[in-house]
Amino acid sequence: MTDIDYDALYRDTADTGGPPWSIGGPQPALAPVLAGGVRGPKVLDIGCGTGDLAIALARLGHEVTAVDISQVAIDMARAKAAAEGLAVRFEVQDAAQLSLPSAPFDSIFDSGLLHSLHRNGGGAADDYLALLPGLAAPGATVVVLAVSIEDGNGWGVTEDYLRAGFAEPVWTGTGVERIDVAARTSDGDLTLPGFLLRTVRSDT
């Protein structure tokens, strides 16, 4: 599948609320995670888009690094954080080739990235999954929100795929729950079937 031009997508939708995944805040399914206490202080948001989740994490007092492949999205995110006086380190990076000297992190969030990498071909997703253990400190929490293949649009991931990507001995205590993923289009709000994975980086 041809890669999406995310810069063009963010530019072209800027006046209409952004791409479908830009819903004006973090995904609702992440609310219990944010409310329950996020392991910190160092938190990474991969595929941050225009920064809503990263900013929510910064509001909780964490040292947040956030990356996205789109310079346009990162510029928007920086503007949002600056308007609130929040110090978030936003960087333009390809998730399949992450280089973050500030690693390892105490928590890592992926809200809608993995299923996009998987949609564009398995190679990028495999490279990304291979990088994650090196970004997570021992005992770090990793949270992944992804659309399910059951959405019926010919893309998405399965629970088995998620569990295989976060298997022992590198990861421990992996849990996957079914959730609704929120999206917003010109026709209104909608929900897609999805998964919320939570796991912990093992000490081994």
Average pLDDT by consecutive 10-residue portion of the chain (204 residues)? 80 92 97 96 98 98 98 98 98 96 97 91 89 98 97 88 98 98 91 97 89
Report pTM: 0.96
Q: What is the pLDDT of residue 1?
A: 35
Query: What span, in angstroms and rounded, lies between the C-alpha atoms of 50 and 169?
Result: 34
pLDDT in tens, 12-23: 999 888 999 999
> What residue type is 132 in one-letter code?
L
The CATH class of 6-13+27-104+119-201 is alpha beta
The helix, strand and coil proportions of the chain, stated in percent and rounded to the nearest 5, come to 35, 30, 30
Tell me the C-alpha distance between 135 and 184, whole Å: 31
Residue 157 is given by DSSP the state B
pLDDT in tens, 69-100: 999 999 999 999 999 999 999 999 999 999 99
For residue 187, the model assigns a pLDDT of 84
Round to whole Å and give the CA distance between 23 and 17. 8
What per-residue confidence (pLDDT) applies to 121? Answer: 66
- Give the domain ranges of the chain: 6-13+27-104+119-201
Task: Output the pLDDT for position 24.
Answer: 94
Residue 44 near residue 105 (C-beta atoms within 8 A): yes
